[in-house]
Amino acid sequence: MNTPAALLDVSRRLSLQTKVQVLTLTYDHPQLTTRVALAGDHVCGVQGPVTPSWQTTLRHHGVHPAELQRAQQQAQSLDEALAHLLKRGVVSAQELQGLARDRLIHALIPLTHHRVRPALQPDSVGQQVPPATPCVPLRDSVSAVMRLSDRSTVPLSQAYAASPAHVPTGPDESFELMVYRAALQGQTLQTMAQRLPLRFDQLCQVLTTLEAGAYIWPTSEQAPSLLTSRPQLQVGDYAPDFLLPALGGGEVRLSALHGQRIWLSLNRQSTCAICNPRHAEVIAVQDQLVPLGVQTVSIWGSTLDDLARGIGKQRPPYAVLADPDDTTYTRYGLSFSLSGTLDPRNLGTMLRGFRMMGAAALKSDGELFRMPAEFLIGRDGRIERVRYATYGADFLAVEEVLAWARRP
Q: How far apart are CA 136 and CA 342, in angstroms?
A: 52
- The alpha carbon of residue 223 and the mean position of all alpha carbons in its chain are separated, in whole angstroms, by 13
| 359 residue type, one letter | A
Architecture of domain 243-406: 3-Layer(aba) Sandwich (3.40)
Q: How far apart are CA 199 and CA 289, in angstroms?
A: 46
Residue from 75, 17, 71, 70 nearest 44 by CA: 17
Helix 175-184 crosses helix 200-212 at what angle (to 10 degrees)? 80
Residue from 229, 256, 367 nearest 307 by CA: 367
Going residue by residue through the chain (408 aa), what tens digit of pLDDT does each one get? 888 888 888 887 776 555 788 899 999 988 899 999 988 889 999 999 999 989 889 988 999 988 988 888 888 888 999 999 999 999 999 999 999 999 999 999 999 888 999 998 875 555 677 888 899 999 998 998 888 766 566 888 888 888 766 788 888 778 998 998 888 877 889 999 999 999 999 999 999 999 888 888 888 644 333 333 457 899 999 999 999 999 998 999 999 999 999 999 999 999 999 999 999 999 999 999 999 999 999 999 999 989 999 999 999 999 999 998 888 998 898 988 888 888 999 999 999 998 988 877 777 666 778 899 999 999 999 999 999 999 999 999 999 999 999 998
Q: Name the H helices within 44-162.
A: 54-61, 65-73, 78-87, 93-108, 138-147
> Residue ranges of the domains in the chain?
3-151, 160-218, 243-406
Bridge-based pairing of strands 20-26 and 34-39 is antiparallel
**Cα–Cα–Cα angle for 256, 258, 263, nearest 5°?**
100
